[in-house]
A and B are shown apart, each in its own frame.
Chain A
Amino acid sequence: MPKILIIEDEKNLRVLYKQDFERDGFEVVTAASAPEGLELVGREKPDLVVMDIRLPGMDGLEAMSRVLDRDPKLPVVLNSAYSSYKDSFMSWSADAYVVKSSDTGELRRRVREVLAARAER
């Protein structure tokens, strides 16, 4: 069962994502901040990270680059309220970029795609 780490500062969204991904059959761990998320990357060894770009304590993009420093192969899906970051070159190193929405269908689909693509390699 693939393990997903969700780094999201909004408590209610953490609950929502956890419920939805668990229903999809994933194991889910959540972190409320970037430092906490980095710690869980090391401890939980997730198969994929879903993270916001704006996070307390650290810029989400910077957090992502630190994640990638630790494990360059770890897939990262950026989940942001801002579509404008889509074009940021920092975002290019993410495996997917999803604009935050109440419809989690897009996020869940991209997560499955990224994992499937990784599995093929």
Chain B
Amino acid sequence: MRKLRAWLIRLWGFSKRDLHDREFDEEIETHLQMHIEDNLRSGMTAEEARRQAILKLGGVETTRQAYREESTLPYGETLWQDLRYTIRQLLKNPGFAATAILVLTLGIGSTVTIFAFVDAALIKPLPYREPSRLVVIFGSIPLGPKFHLSFPDYYDFKKLNKVFSSFEVYDNNGFMISTPTGAQLASGAKVSAGFFRTLGVTPMMGRDFLPGEDTPSAPRTVILSYEAWQRRYGGRADVLGQTVTLGGAPNTIVGVLPKDFSFAPAAPADFWAAEHDESPCRGCHWLFGLGRLKDGVSIESAAADMTSIALQLEKQYPDSNRGNGAALFLLSDVIVGDIRPIMLVLLGGAGLLLVIACVNVASLLLVRTQSRKREIAVRGALGASRGRLLRQFVTEGLVLAAIASGFGLFAADGAMQLLTRLIPEDALAGMPYLQGLGVSWHVLIFGLAVSLFTGLLFSLTPTLSLSLAEMRAGLVEGGRSAAGTLWRRLGARLVVVELATAVVLLVGAGLLAKSFYRLLQVDPGLQPDNLAALLLSPAQEKYSKDPQKVALERELLQRVCALPGVASASIANQLPVGDGDTTTTFRIVGRPSHGEHNEVAYRQVSADYFHTLQVRLLEGRYFTSAEDATKPPVVLINRALARQYFPGEDPVGKRINFSNGKPEEEMQIIGMIDDIREGPLDVEARAAMYVPFEQHTPWSEFSIVARTSVDAESLLPMLAASIHQMDPGIATYGATTMNQRIHDSPAAYLHRASAWLVGSFAALALVLSVVGLYGVIAYSVSQRTREIGVRIALGAQRSTVYRLILKEAAWLIAFGIVAGLAGSVAAATAMRKLLFGTEAWDAFTLVAVAGVLSTAALAASYLPARRAALVSPVESLRAE
């Protein structure tokens, strides 16, 4: 207690130093005077009395120092001094400060960013009760282990198992929701009544499903996700008890889920309805199981139990259950299993970057220590203790690390937002743990730990090269220690590795960027500007027959064409630049069939389709609006189909039919168009045939595309509104422009994301390697100052000195680039699959990278070379 009291008083003393000093002076003065008076009284002369008193009492200045240290906190005081001195040093040397801080910021920023992702995905526990006990149960069939369960199988598994304390099911289909502005597709899931209890989640408002609420006869109830409650109901409290029409049936809203609730396997889901379907069909699989393991039961023994039940069911129901088993996965593996290796690789890469950054800054610090040797020696000679000097270095290291960490955290926050934006929305929905990603407590603590670690590293670096003995020697001669030589060799090797790594990453980034550019250059076969598109899903009951669909098509097109800003509109069963699916098989009339499997893309389009998309007609003619079911069937083919199936022939006028088509369904080829990329942009256009909508109406869903004279984006809301005005029962979704569709297509996303990711790593590597090179060359120059001075004194020209230093750098650069180029061709060959329209040994990229890197590296070594050339022989010799 006494100690604490003293400490507090001393802390307080900090603020009143001047007062303390004045009082102390006065007290000492009094003391001295009293002493002198006593001496006088004992008969000394005035001068002698004063001399004796001063002699006896010792130095006032040292006493004042001791007193001051006692009256306040000396380390606080010197800390403040050290801090001011450090900041002065950094400001005096802005080039060093900026470089060191930049390099560290990059290293810390990237590590913290990747850590935030790893934390969100792998470290943070799932937001459920005891998440490690939750498993997902899939049906396994000979094709694979992740298929659905049927309801009767689920029921039997639930009844017969001895390993789960609860066993529930979910399925993740959306709902058709009726809203005042028409039908829409809403995300949602159906779950059995105990689903949320199994997870250990309770609604934040209202109630959970009651046991038995999932039977076919129970009244229909639904629970909202928090996000849906906010977005669809404005967060109103009276939402409970309201009804919402899902799939045509009214459901009562009974609860709202907590804000942080998410369940990735069924995400995104606005509506969580109770599952009422107890279909007795064992062959109908549409459910996934969710189970909570009983205490002490391992997932292996649970799997064994389930397998034995499955075998039993297989014996009992051989018709439906042959080869059907059950596969168990931990819920956490289901959610993050796919990205775990990617995350760990990225974390490893970022960690490596941080280490390289640290080594580089350490080498910069070493260079600076060399040039500060004399200053340090002088301070030491003036009485600074080793501890005091060490403290100065520690302060400098910590200040550097602290500033860089501050910037690094900001950079990390920005990078996190950027990276999450690179993930397309669909994929992001499956990663709910990334929502609200930012600088959390975990991340902050990690950042602090990293910064402390780097700070200590930098505090120790200069002291390594600065033993006490050497510190003294620094006064007399420029010490050239064995440690210095060792560092030069080690540093040089490290720089070669850094340069080579930078080359590999730069080449990778260059190739990926070129691929992305090439991809965007791909001619989609249509004019994508000013095209608006919308997906439609009309209610089945109302539009089941062909004439109904044709009438719908005509009215839709008429309404949409009447919208202001729409030049033309048409309908297709599938939009271009999709997955290339929806195919048909056909045969050529008049050619013997040997059972070939002629599969081509199959598009049902309205008459104006090619005109709207501005597709080039190569031969023949387009459809006319008169070509309906009453006219002879016609078909248009693309160039790829002609090349593949009619090589060297003129296809126009030939007749084809579906593989199992009747003779009256034979279609005449009336024209050939240029290839439209129906599939991904990075896959060659494949054969496709186009038939008139009115002769072959699609099943249910189709898309409408409109060529606009205004900005296509601005037309989208009107497009949906006009369709709902016509029939509110038509669900509309996926509104987008053609350019956006191309931009968001998986191929574009993949190339863009990888180019960005590799590109940013490459930029970091470039900066780091150049700084590393600078550090090594500058250190070498600082070590060779004397030698250079002698050379100049002996008549060496400045240009010779330049050549001397730049030659040293050039060797390192050449080694690095050659090794890097060899490595990058190997790496590029390995990632050939990611490249598009670009060779792994793309000469332009290789030369450009070598050029960029050697320019940057030579520029970095020019600075120390210049310093060397400007060495004054007299000074360099005298200084040592």
Do A and B interact? no
Task: Write the residues of chain A forming the contact surface with B, with a CB cutoff of 8 angstroms.
Answer: none
